[in-house]
Amino acid sequence: MHRDPALDQILSAIASRQRFVLSSHARPDGDSIGSQLAMAYALQALGKHVTIVNKDAAPAPIMAFPGVPDIQISDHVTGDFDAAIIMECGELTRPGVAGLDKYFLINIDHHPGNTGYGQINWFDATAAACGEMVFTLIEALGVPLSPEIASHVYLAILTDTGSFHYSGITPRTFDICRQCLEAGVDPVLVARNIYDTNNMGRLKLFGAVLSAMRIDSSGQIAIVYLDHEMARAAGGTYEDTEGLVNLPLSVTEILAVVFFKRTESDEFRVSVRSKGNIDVGSVAKEFGGGGHKNAAGCTVTGGFETLQEQFVAKIQRAIKDGSI
Ligand code: 5GP
Ligand code: MN
């Protein structure tokens, strides 16, 4: 396969530098944590000094993975670093960590529309996870696949493909996973850590949210809503909703889901998901957010009923434009 010149630029930038700070997006997921930790272990194997700074802590199930508790949680970074490696971020605002722009920036990402904010920009929208790109870089660096690196690459791929549900999966995705298993990853244990270590409040919260779910006039779009009062009543928290947005897609007729989480009285975190060729990434972009074709998000303000109508109209359009 043709090799991106940016990859060679990154190899020489790493070779000539010693101290690295790594960061990724706020509210981290499996791909942001897995990409960062795989990179950190690889750089450490080369004798480099590595610090990871994230705005928010990892979701509870991911805390069990090696190195995750050592991530520094802060909204700013200071210190003497030769470069910052930002992974899994389409824009430099995504980390929510001030001060990163002071450093030599290496941008590694797979989100369509990446703004190219780095001194080096390696962008590959065909990667199923940013963790795939990190794997390729680690291979090119000549660092052997340790169990720690392998478990983080596998975590990134498993979660960012929605457990091998989403588009973007290629033979290489499975080849990387094969190598991760050969390096010691136990897929049963990883799946249990990620999917089967939740609390009862989360299950009750899922029940409450799904009971209140609405379906649009076409019967193809599920609208899911959560506010703090519902969460309290169910005995769960907003953090417990990870993965909930995907559940309505398990119904044959449902082609897209929009999930509104009320954060302030008129502010909402919105997650959108879709099947097949339905592009909800461009829907989220119209509302100032972004993401991938089948998984995207944004933050919006306004009245809930109005916002709901606006999103449903745009998603109905995306369904017309796409075809399964
Ligand atoms: P989630 O719905 O899980 O928060 O995000 C789904 C996908 O959309 C992720 O790949 C994430 O990177 C992207 N995404 C979510 N929120 C935003 C946002 O506010 N801005 C941008 N650019 N991307 C987002
Ligand atoms: Mn990703």
pLDDT for 2 beyond 80 = no
CB of 30 closer than 6 angstroms to any ligand 1 atom: no
Question: Per-residue b/e over 129-144, b at no fewer than 16 CB within 10 Å?
Answer: bbbbbbbbbbeebebe
- Percent of the chain past pLDDT 70, that is, above it, reads 99
Among 117, 120, 164, 303, which residue's Cα sits nearest to residue 225? 303
Q: What is the mean pLDDT of residues 85-97?
A: 98
| Ligand 1 atom with the shortest distance to the CA of 245 | 2
Ligand nearest to the CA of 30: 2
pLDDT for 304 beyond 90 = yes
Record the tokens describing residue 273, joined without a space: 């998901």
pLDDT band with cut points at 50, 70 and 90 for residue 1: low
Other CB atoms within 10 Å distance of the CB of residue 90: 22
Ligand nearest to the CA of 158: 2
**Residues measured by CB to lie within 5 Å of ligand 2, the ion:** 31, 88, 130, 160
pLDDT for 242 beyond 80 = yes
pLDDT for 99 beyond 60 = yes
CB of 248 closer than 6 angstroms to any ligand 1 atom: no
pLDDT band with cut points at 50, 70 and 90 for residue 90: very high
Q: Tell me: the pLDDT tens digits for 262-288?
A: 998 999 999 999 999 999 999 999 999
Q: What is the mean pLDDT of residues 123-145?
A: 98
Distance 78 CA to ligand 2 centre (A): 26
CB of 290 closer than 6 angstroms to any ligand 1 atom: yes
What is the pLDDT, as a whole number, of residue 179? Answer: 98
pLDDT band with cut points at 50, 70 and 90 for residue 142: very high
Ligand nearest to the CA of 155: 2
Ligand nearest to the CA of 296: 1
Other CB atoms within 10 Å distance of the CB of residue 116: 11
pLDDT band with cut points at 50, 70 and 90 for residue 324: low
Among 240, 246, 271, residue to substitute to test ligand 1 (most atoms within 8 Å of Cβ)? 271
CB of 131 closer than 6 angstroms to any ligand 1 atom: no
Please state whether 49 falls in left (phi above 0), alpha (psi between -120 and 50) or beta. beta
CB of 299 closer than 6 angstroms to any ligand 1 atom: yes
CB of 156 closer than 6 angstroms to any ligand 1 atom: no
What is the pLDDT, as a whole number, of residue 167? Answer: 81
Distance 11 CA to ligand 2 centre (A): 22
Question: Per-residue b/e over 164-200, b at no fewer than 16 CB within 10 Å?
Answer: eebebbeeebeebbebbeebebeeeebeebbeeebee
The protein residue with its alpha carbon nearest to ligand 1, atom 20, reads 289
Sequence letter at residue 260: F
CB of 291 closer than 6 angstroms to any ligand 1 atom: yes
- Percent of the chain past pLDDT 90, that is, above it, reads 94
| Ligand 1 atom with the shortest distance to the CA of 273 | 2
Q: Tell me: the pLDDT tens digits for 213-230?
A: 999 999 999 999 999 999
pLDDT band with cut points at 50, 70 and 90 for residue 261: very high
The protein residue with its alpha carbon nearest to ligand 1, atom 17, reads 297
Please state, rounded to an integer, the average pLDDT across all residues of the chain.
Answer: 96
Ligand nearest to the CA of 26: 1
The protein residue with its alpha carbon nearest to ligand 1, atom 12, reads 291
Three-state DSSP string of the chain: CCCCHHHHHHHHHHHCCCEEEEECCCCCCHHHHHHHHHHHHHHHHCCCEEEEEECCCCCHHHHHCCCHHHCEECCECCCCCCEEEEECCCCCCCCCCECHHHCCEEEEECCCCCCCCCCEEEECCCCCCHHHHHHHHHHHHCCCCCHHHHHHHHHHHHHHCCCCCCCCCCHHHHHHHHHHHHCCCCHHHHHHHHHCCCCHHHHHHHHHHHHCCEECCCCCEEEEEECHHHHHHHCCCHHHHCCHHHHHHHCCCCCEEEEEEEEECCEEEEEEEECCCCCHHHHHHHCCCEECCCEEEEEEECCHHHHHHHHHHHHHHHHHHCCC
Alpha carbon distance 89, 173 (integer Å): 20
What is the pLDDT, as a whole number, of residue 3? Answer: 87
CB of 296 closer than 6 angstroms to any ligand 1 atom: yes
Edge-to-edge strand ranges of the sheet holding 120-123? 72-73, 49-54, 19-23, 83-87, 105-109, 120-123
The protein residue with its alpha carbon nearest to ligand 1, atom 7, reads 296
Record the tokens describing residue 199, joined without a space: 């609390």
Q: Tell me: the pLDDT tens digits for 26-84?
A: 999 999 999 999 999 999 999 999 999 999 999 999 999 999 999 999 999 999 999 99
